[in-house]
Amino acid sequence: MAVTPPAQRIWWNEPIERVELTWVIIAFLWGLFMFGFMIAWHFIGGQNLSREAYRIAPSKYEAKVEEFAKKHTVREEKGVPVVKPPAGSDIYILGRLWQWWPILELEKGQSYRVHISSIDWQHGFSLQPTNINIQVHPGYEHVITLTPTEAGEFGIVCNEFCGIGHHTMTGKIYVTEPKRAESGQRLADGR
């Protein structure tokens, strides 16, 4: 019940004020523009991740990652292997309660195919401070192409609640500068 009821009980038959109609039209056109731009951004945005994914048993994926880590480990940090694969190769990382394993060391400017999966629950792979964010499900191996453009240390956080230790589920990716040519090689090249 209104304090001052309208003169006409059937309000939708009332004329619309010109200013109100103008704002309704502007809002409608802006909504159409944004809808169209979302579709266009998919093609011109250049930030969409690959749609490449495969079904895989979690135990088989875990075995692939362990074999990869054993083959390319260069050191350990707090019991977690730091893996430095050859530039341009396929690399593997897995999510499990409550860590991203192993730690990766990549080379700036080189492209890598990153394989990501979970062996237990749904996790979120969020590479900080970049805008890479993937929902990771057990039984699916997601593949993205990653080309680091900056050297430094990048954090991986889980952004899908996965249990009591969710807030501690982190990982790392180190990106190093490419190695310079040896001095003998520089002389041979004339530099």
Domains and CATH numbers, the chain: 52-176 (2.60.40.420)
Give dist(CA 158, CA 73) in Å, integer: 23
pLDDT digits (tens, 9 = 90+) for 127-150: 888 878 889 999 999 998 888 999
Mean pLDDT across the stretch 181-191?
49
* Distant-in-sequence, close-in-space partners of 1: CB < 8 Å, separation ≥ 6: none
Q: Is 17 helix (H, G, I), strand (E, B) or coil?
A: coil
Q: What single letter denotes the amino acid at residue 39?
A: I
pLDDT band at 42 (very low <50, low <70, confident <90, very high): confident
Whether the CB-CB separation of 70 and 33 falls below 8 Å is answered with no
State pTM to two decimals: 0.70
